[in-house]
Structure 1
Amino acid sequence: MADRPGPWASGRFDVEGHRGAKGLVVENTLASFAAAYDAGVTGVELDVRLTADGEVVVWHDPVLLPLKCLSTGPDLVGARVADLTLAQLRTVDVGSQTLAAFPDQRPSPGARISTLDEVLAHGLERSPDVWWTIEVKVDPRDAGESGNRRRLLEGVLSSLHAAGLERQCFIHSFDWAVLELSALLAPTVTRSALVESGVTWVPGSPWTGSVVAGTTHEDVCDGAAAVGAQVISPEHVLVDEPFVERAHGAGLAVLPWTVNEAARMVELVEAGVDGLVSDYPDRALSVLAPCPA
């Protein structure tokens, strides 16, 4: 593992909390990140988007969904994050509602959408050694999002630079064009290629930047390496020992998502992955504690 950049380079198995610790506290809130730090994670995964006034905020969905968002001022539920200013987003309570699919999820009443700068500052205070897996949310099929790809990425890189975290993070995206651009703008920042089963590595996929599945490259691992990734982050159902061997052969670390079942965590460790992303990082750390790094 030492020849692949990341938290595993020190010999640790990397357990990353998904959107903070989504299974424990409402996602992408400061309280959710705190729960991940308290669990003892080596890394956290989060999502970033651009507001209408150019602020980089930590939020997953392109729109404010009613199951997650409560308006405290004008009714903004259903609006696109990209169409709202930071001030408008601050009026929305994103912490009071829990999701039925996560019965152990605790609320964070009154929580607001945070900027990336705020989340990084909070993390540096609480857990300065944690690694940051920052998913740059760009849908290449959406003209607005793809048109703002560079602006969003530049904002993320600026925040990482200001926080001194350029050597402690991954630029992480399903849109591999983000990774190619990041290689140009910040070549020393590690890049992670996300892969979704049946979506990313298929003929005609718009997600793979300048590489073309089945044309320029046959194997997804070779394709990810070709766009400058040092990490491949596949949906966990894609991962078995041969996949890990191909990835490692291409010089890539393997960081599957989102792994919540204990038995599957053990299978993936035995297959040789370098880390995993989980909604329940406490569970992962407990299950994997006896496993060798």
Structure 2
Amino acid sequence: MLVIAHRGGGGLRVENTLAAFGNAIRLGAAGAELDVRLSADGEVVVHHDACLNPAYCRYRGRWVSRTDRKRIADLAYAELRECDIGRRRTGTRYADKFDLVQDVDGERIPLLRDVVRLVKSESDRFFLVIEIKTPVLQAASQPWRTLVDKTLAIVETEGLGDRFTLCSFDWGALTYAMAQRPGTTTWFTTQPLSWYGDAPASEVDLQPVTASLIKLRTKYRMGSAPWFGGYDPRDFSDGYAEAIAAAGGHAWFMYHRDYSSEHASALLRHGMGGCAWSVNLRDPDEVRRVASLGADAICLDYPGSYTA
């Protein structure tokens, strides 16, 4: 089972920084997952949140306000370059949750091409799992077209070859990418499947924003789930694995707790790959459980603990 550094290995360096990606390469991870968005002037930048994250972002030397978070899409890249994102903000939930992070001052929000160049200069095997980050609740408007086009152009121009995979919770972005660049490897990502149920999100699962969860569940129950890109698993007798296979995907990228023997069997029936993602997972027994089910890869914030 391959180990992929989640957001570059966000448990060891601040997420989505060049310091994180460089560290993941040195630790021997097979690759790194990262998140891409568009700046106001159309640059493909690497940042998880839609807004500057106040838990680790200082703008022109001052911490970003928790109440006035600037949107990535509203800032030109020259402005984003003025952010230092290498240090956790003391007293935040993020700093407490990721207590093993080694802070590195002077880290800037990187461009996708910066990460590609780092990877190419440091390794001839390390690959990138690039998440197309757009709001799934707006999937019907296809907000990902320009981002996908520019992402594909960058990996092509920078000569990354086939050392990348695209993933997204919005499956339409992935089917579009495969149409634009035949042969592109895609991992179809899913939220924790418990989010679609009626019960409150489990305390042991990743906790969603309540308002967003309500909207997601409402659309899902109404039969309107545009983030599946026309391949709603409820329309397929064998569920997610069959739906992803029908869409032409290469793997189901599921939340680690959803990786079950039942889902593993479905993946085998449809000749599909299976990968797992996690956030702040530190339980080696859970990693071994996922491996025992035949997963091809797992995405971890602490890649160095499991690369052996």
TM-score range, shorter-chain basis? 0.7 to 0.9
The correspondence of residues 255-270 of structure 1 with structure 2, limited to 5 A, is 255-258=275-278, 259-270=281-292
- Flag the 1:269–1:116 CA change in 2: closer, same or farther, 3 A: same
Specify the alignment match of 1:109 in structure 2: 105
Identity of aligned residues (%): 31
Q: CA deviation at 1:146?
A: 4.7
AA at the equivalent of 1:279: D
What is the aligned partner in structure 1 of residue 247 from structure 2?
227
| 2:276 partner SS | coil
For structure 2, the 5+ residue unaligned runs are 90-94, 198-219
**TM-score normalised to the size of structure 2?**
0.83
Residue 80 (structure 2) aligns with? 89
Matched, 1:132 2:128: yes
SS at match of 1:256: strand
* Matching of residue 27 in structure 1 with residue 11 in structure 2: no
Equivalence for 2:51: 63
Shift in Å at residue 74 of structure 1?
8.5
In 1: Cα distance, 2:260 partner to 2:16 partner: 29
Q: Which residue identity lines up with residue 186 of structure 2 in the other structure?
A: R
The one-letter amino acid of 2:9's match is: A
Letter in 2 for 1:114: P
Quick check: 1:200–1:208 contact (8 Å CA) kept in 2? Answer: no
CA distance in 2 between partners of 1:71 and 1:163 (Å) = 29
Cα drift, residue 151 of structure 1:
0.5
Work out the CA distance in 1 between the residues paired with 2:232 and 2:85: 38
Structure-2 separation of matches of 1:262 and 1:108: 27
When normalised by structure 1's length, the TM-score is 0.87
Alpha-carbon deviation of 1:110? 1.8
Q: Specify the code of the residue in structure 1 equivalent to 2:135.
A: D
Give the aligned partner of residue 10 of structure 1: none
CA 1:24–1:75: 2 relative to 1, 3 Å: closer
Give the AA of the match of 2:264: V
Inter-partner Cα distance in structure 2 for 1:29 and 1:81? 16
Q: Is the CA contact (8 Å cut-off) linking 1:200 and 1:207 kept in structure 2?
A: no
Whether the aligned pair in 2 keeps the contact of 1:166 and 1:189 (CA below 8 Å) is: no
Higher share of residues assigned helix: 2
1:76-129 deviation line (CA, Å, top 9, x unaligned) = 650110111101111111112262101111112121100000010011111221
Counterpart of 1:191 in structure 2 is 186
Alignment partner of 1:284 is 2:303: no
Query: Quick check: 1:260–1:284 contact (8 Å CA) kept in 2?
Result: no
Q: 1:167 to 1:260 in 2, by over 3 A?
A: same
**Residues 73 and 146 (structure 1), Cα distance of their counterparts in 2 relative to 1, 3 Å cut:** farther
User: Displacement, 1:260?
Assistant: 3.2
Q: 1:142 to 1:26 in 2, by over 3 A?
A: same
Query: Using the alignment, how far apart are the partners of 1:224 and 1:185 within structure 2?
Result: 18
Cα distance per residue 1:254-274 (max 9 Å; x no partner): 110114310001111111111
- Residues 238-277 of structure 1 mapped to structure 2, 5 A cutoff: 238-258=258-278, 259-277=281-299
Instruction: Tell me whether 1:17 sits opposite 2:1 in the alignment.
Output: no
Q: Distance in 2 between matches of 1:260 and 1:48?
A: 25
Number of residue pairs matched by the alignment: 273
Q: Is the 8 A contact 2:53 2:64 kept in 1?
A: no
CA contact (8 A) 1:14 1:276 kept: yes
The residue number in structure 1 matching 2:30 is 42
Structure 1 unmatched ranges of 5 or more: 1-12
Hey, what does 2:217 align to over in structure 1? none
Structure 1 67/75 Cα, relative in aligned 2: closer, same or farther at 3 Å?
A: closer
Structure 2 equivalent of residue 161 of structure 1: 156
For 1:74 and 1:225, the matched residues in 2 are separated by 48
SS of the equivalent of 2:37 reads strand
Give the match for residue 52 of structure 1.
40
Structural mapping, 1:191-210, within 5 Å:
191-198=186-193, 199=195, 203=221, 204=223, 205-210=225-230
Q: 80, 104, 108: which is aligned to 2:71?
A: 80
Distance 2:190 2:286 in 1: 18
Q: CA deviation at 1:34?
A: 1.0
